[in-house]
Amino acid sequence: MSEEARNAEFPDIARQLVEFSHGDGLEIALGGGRAHFKPHGTPDPEDPKKPGRRMDGRDLTQAWVDARDGSSYVWNREQLLSVDREKTKHLLGLFEPGHMQYEADRANDMAGEPSIAEMTEFAIDFLSRDPDGFFLMVEGGRIDHGHHAGNAYRALSDTIALSDAVHVALAKTDAQDTLIVVTADHSHTLTISGYPMRGNPILGKVIGRSKKRGGENKIAQDAKGKPYTALSYANGPGYTSSWQRPDLSNVDTEHPEYLQEATVPMRSETHAGEDVPIFAGGPRSALFHGVREQNYIYHAMVEALGWTRAGVPVD
């Protein structure tokens, strides 16, 4: 936040989360961003090089614990799995000083970080204790970051991790009384190039069949006789040269650090303009159909809940 915003005492996002005033506050919030909850300069328990960043001197993790009876704070996977669910009514879990790890890198996390599927499972079990039901939002936020980095390996690995979380949600709930909606907030400039054969590694070079009858499968080539990958970006940091494409013959394009080629040089790949799909199952899921503006999703969820637009339950 700017100094002007702080002087005006505008609450930043971390404060808004902790000071959520509706009902008795949030029941559970799990993710990263620990440095934004700790006073400036406070050593991080996992990475001392990433200390607290709050300029108001407040420790919002302690504020969370002090605000309501039965509130707890955890910062690693072991602590999360050890939470006493009988005594805990409000749980804050911050597992990284900044962004959560990519799924491909999570196993190397120093303190141990839960997967998005594990957090989803824990949250559903935690919230299911309320006989009136619950609302849970799960975001695979690092899919976006992987694409911006031009790194399809990490973007797709995190997409699979989100898919695992959806699988958990389906397994842990009853389709008769639980509406599950899955969508994205935007697309990216990722494209599939050429005519890769069925079974072609999605991160690999394009393998095509010879045009001759009975011809063998072989690495496809561009107009200059060089191989190309099944995936590429319309823009991003994977741009190499406007004069000469690199020869990928001996390049491991499936390596986690490989950046797919980009047509336009950009420090960060951008969002794109396609419509994104929305999938839904459960009560009133038929409301989610056709081509819709994104704000429609909110109104469809309100309708599914049986609420008026003012948020008051319908008799």
Q: What is the pLDDT of residues 58-72, one digit of tens each?
A: 999 999 999 999 999
Other CB atoms within 10 Å distance of the CB of residue 138:
19
Give the DSSP letter of residue 257: T
Residue 109 lies in a domain: yes
Residue 82 lies in a domain: yes
Q: Note the pLDDT tens digit of each residue in 220-273.
A: 999 999 999 999 999 999 998 877 899 999 999 999 999 999 999 999 999 999
- Check pLDDT > 90 for residue 310: no
Residue 267 lies in a domain: no
Residue 107 lies in a domain: yes
pLDDT of residue 60: 98
Residue 315 lies in a domain: no
Q: How many domains does the chain have?
A: 1
What lies within 8 Å, CB to CB, of 49 at 6+ separation is none
| Amino acid identity at 236 | G
What predicted TM-score, i.e. pTM, was given to this entire model? 0.92
Distance CA 297, CA 288 (A): 8
Taking CA atoms, 89 is separated from 20, 59, 75, 92, in Å, by 15, 20, 17, 10
Dihedral sign of CA atoms 58, 63, 64, 67 in order? negative
Domain of 9 in residue numbering reads as: 1-114
Q: Note the pLDDT tens digit of each residue in 15-62.
A: 999 999 888 899 999 999 999 999 999 999 999 999 999 999 999 999
pLDDT band at 112 (very low <50, low <70, confident <90, very high): very high
Residue 97 lies in a domain: yes
Residue 105 lies in a domain: yes
| Amino acid identity at 256 | P
Residue 239 lies in a domain: no
Dihedral sign of CA atoms 1, 145, 252, 222 in order? negative
